[in-house]
């Protein structure tokens, strides 16, 4: 074999060897992507940073019920801020409920707050329109006490798969009610015979009969 052919064979082998690890790595990455969390919307304004913002609707597209906004809110500042409102274009303003107690939701200085999921604060949307549907990217606006409005576009997804534990629960069906009679039915109770002789009446009749016999 000539030296040029040998060099060509060595180069081809080197290329094949270098491609093999890359192929294996690619296969591994593809496999791992099944466990990677979805890449949701994020933004930051001043001391406020929003991550994993998503609007989650009912799991059944035909179900009527609230949707929720899921997000993680970071406050990198030195003073706490309150989350005064969250609104979604076409979905109205959310009802914000702290994880514990009542009142406004406070994001502590240097801390964070999670919206959505069991045991966390919630932001529920009760006035959805047809504009809010799965697959859309809706404008979501968070309003804070100091930073003001922080807006971004977030995907609308049903509460399925990864989002099941973060979304709203399915609306329960109304329990069936069975008709129960009220009061006692007419004519209930033991009938009392009319015209029956009482003990007093019987005694009077006996005395009358005796007196009549004596007179004769």
pLDDT per position as a tens digit, 152-191: 999 999 988 778 766 665 544 434 444 455 554 455 454 4
Dist. CA 177–CA 52, nearest whole Å? 43
Residue 156 maps to a domain: yes
Q: What average pLDDT does range 2-12 have in this prediction? A: 48
Could you tell me the CA-to-CA distances from 14 to 1, 5, 11, 76 in Å, in that order? 18, 14, 5, 50
- Whether 99 and 83 have beta carbons less than 8 Å apart is answered as no
Rounded to two decimals, the pTM is: 0.61
Residue 18 maps to a domain: no
Query: pLDDT-derived band of residue 19, with 50, 70 and 90 as boundaries?
Result: very low
How wide is the angle at C-alpha 200 spanned by C-alphas 194 and 203, nearest 5°? Answer: 120
Residue 172 maps to a domain: no
The domain that holds 151 is classified in CATH as 2.60.40.1890
Residue 48 maps to a domain: yes
State yes or no: pLDDT of 39 exceeds 80: no
Residue 207 maps to a domain: no
Would you call 212 helix, strand, or coil by DSSP?
Answer: helix
Looking at the chain, the number of H-run helices and the number of E-run strands are 2, 11
Would you call 210 helix, strand, or coil by DSSP?
Answer: helix
Query: pLDDT-derived band of residue 211, with 50, 70 and 90 as boundaries?
Result: very low
Q: Per the structure, how many domains does the chain have? A: 1
| Closest among 72, 67, 84, 68 to 41, alpha carbons compared | 72
Domain that holds residue 76: 41-165
| Closest among 62, 65, 40, 61 to 50, alpha carbons compared | 40
Residue 76 maps to a domain: yes
| Phi, psi angles (nearest 5°) of residue 167 | -90, 180
End-to-end CA distance of the chain: 166
State yes or no: pLDDT of 206 exceeds 80: no
- 10 Å CB burial of residue 43 (0-12, 13-18, 19+) is middle
Residue 142 maps to a domain: yes
Q: What average pLDDT does range 69-87 have in this prediction? A: 97
Residue 178 maps to a domain: no
Residue 79, CA atoms < 13 Å, CB-side half-sphere: 7
Dist. CA 111–CA 143, nearest whole Å? 17
Say what percent of the chain tops pLDDT 90: 39
């Amino acid at each position: 074999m000539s030296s040029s052919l040998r060099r060509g064979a060595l180069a081809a082998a080197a290329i094949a060897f270098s491609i093999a690890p890359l192929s294996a790595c690619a296969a591994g990455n593809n496999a791992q992507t099944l466990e990677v969390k979805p890449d949701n919307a994020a933004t930051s304004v001043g001391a406020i940073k929003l991550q994993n913002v998503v609007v989650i609707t009912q799991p059944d597209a035909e179900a009527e019920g609230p949707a929720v906004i899921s997000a993680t809110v970071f406050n990198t500042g030195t003073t706490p801020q309150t989350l005064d409102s969250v609104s979604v274009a076409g979905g109205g303003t959310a009802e914000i409920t702290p994880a514990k107690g009542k009142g406004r939701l406070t994001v502590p200085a240097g801390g964070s707050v999670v919206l959505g999921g069991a045991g966390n604060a919630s932001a529920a949307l009760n006035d959805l329109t047809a504009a809010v549907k799965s697959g859309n990217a809706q404008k979501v606006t968070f309003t804070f006490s100091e930073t003001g409005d922080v807006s971004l576009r977030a995907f609308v997804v049903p509460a399925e798969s990864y989002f099941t534990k973060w979304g709203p629960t399915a609306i329960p069906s109304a329990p069936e009610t069975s008709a129960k009679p009220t009061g006692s039915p007419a004519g209930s109770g033991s009938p009392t015979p009319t015209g029956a002789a009482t003990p007093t009446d019987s005694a009077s009749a006996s005395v009358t009969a005796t007196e009549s016999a004596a007179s004769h």
